[in-house]
Structure 1
Amino acid sequence: MNARNKELSSVSSIIIVVSGILLVVSIFLPWWKMIFFAPQYPEGLNIIVYPYKLEGEIDIVNGLNHYIGMANFSEETFPELTYLPYIVGGYAFLTIITAILRKKFFLYGLICLYVLGGALGVWDLRKALRQFGTNLSPTAPIKIDPFIPPIIGENTVANFVTNSVLGLGAYLLIVAFILLLIPLWKDRKTK
């Protein structure tokens, strides 16, 4: 039997189901966060990104960003928030179907979809960060050079230090992906 058409074990199928459950749970948790620190805000200001909403001190951050000419952060400026939960739900559904079918061929396809979805997500976030940091209003009261905040890491603009970090939901996505790889190793063909 071709290794790609080989059936996955019951344990591997359970591992894949757990991966799908983690995807669903991740929808309700933060995926990404920016924390802004400055002398006047030593406790930090947050923008917390869920797959379907923004939380944190967004109004304060927008008020401060006005001074450097940056566009406002809002759920309306991120249309992805209206459909991303459905995409993640679709991935979870495909993950459960893969667990039921128990074919390595479908698992390979699912892993490729995860990689593609992850790459598109990183690209989309990077594009948004570039848009916000480089399209500064020329009439802003404070003139600064355009910048691109990092997806993960630290950035300094004027007297603000910004830390960008992954949220718990993003870690669950990573674990869900790793769980999909385990059956490939566990059920590998031995001679």
Structure 2
Amino acid sequence: MAKKLSAGSMASLFGAAALIFASIKFPWWGMKFYAPQYMEGLDIIVYPNKLEGDIDIVNGLNHYIGMAPFSNESFPELQYLPGLIMGLAAIIIIVALVRKKILLYVPPALLVVGGALGIYDMNLWLTKFGTELDPKAPIELEPFVPPIIGENILANFVTHSYFTTGSFLIGAGFLLTLLPFWLERRK
């Protein structure tokens, strides 16, 4: 008969589920735009279910380079991502309650696959917005792809892209899904 997960492993999985669930309330990613006329910077802040920040100003500026405007409606992922996150947290709780060691592979595997798909999706959107520029725009630029993380310079704007609180909570949750492998190593 297979041994059941220890209380420590169960607690680690419950902690992972709590962090992943809590990430819904925090921003996951952002961009900050600096220029001489915007010394304080303009923000785009991405939550799992909405965009916040200086969206209207950024859209107004992007019009000059022919970039399509963006909004919450532009990204269908914002409609279903919170449900996927809650589903993932629920799966982790189920694994903790069932207490079978073989199921320990499920949460980290789902997080790796989900993370890879999320990064891929972000790159698709950044590519679409940066390369599908209107050729009739007042300012003609070569197509570009803003980075997911890091700095980008475009005309007189310096842009910083970064992960933020929600992503760090997901990362901590991922680490907590790995901890049971260490806790159960001698059992």
**Band of TM-score, shorter chain:** over 0.9
Give per-residue Cα distances to partners, 1:155-190, cap 9 Å, x unaligned. Answer: 011100000011100000000001100110121136
Give unpaired runs (5+ residues) of structure 1: none
1:8 CA drift (Å): 1.6
Give CA-to-partner distance per residue, 1:98-143, whole Å, 9 cap, x none.
1111112111022211111111001000100000001000001001
Residue number in structure 2 paired with 1:58? 55
Partner of 1:124: 121
1:31-180 aligned within 5 A: 31-180=28-177
* Partner Cα separation in structure 2 for residue 26 and residue 112 of structure 1: 18
Q: Which amino acid aligns with 1:59?
A: D
CA distance in 1, matches of 2:27, 2:185: 35
Partners of 2:135 and 2:50 in 1: how far apart?
30
TM-score (norm 2): 0.97
Q: Distance in 1 between matches of 2:105 and 2:186?
A: 15
The alignment-based identity, stated in percent, is 55
- Aligned-pair CA distance for 1:6: 4.3
Helix, strand or coil for the counterpart of 1:72? coil
The structural deviation recorded for 1:54 is: 0.4
Which stretches in structure 2 are left out of the alignment for 5+ residues?
A: none
Q: Is the 8 A contact 2:66 2:138 kept in 1?
A: yes
Match of 1:187 in 2: 184
Q: For residue 157 of structure 2, what is the amino acid of its counterpart?
A: F
Query: Whole-Å Cα distance in 2 between the matches of residues 183 and 46 of structure 1?
Result: 39
CA distance in structure 2 between the partners assigned to 1:58 and 1:144 by the alignment: 21
SS class of match (1:141): coil
CA contact (8 A) 2:8 2:183 kept: no
1:10 maps to which residue? 7
SS in 2 for 1:27: helix
Aligned length: 187
Distance in 2 (CA, whole Å) between partners of 1:6 and 1:163 is 49
Aligned-partner SS, 1:55: strand
- Once residues 178 and 108 of structure 1 are traced to their aligned partners in structure 2, the CA distance between those partners, rounded to angstroms, is 13
Aligned alpha-carbon RMSD (Å):
1.1
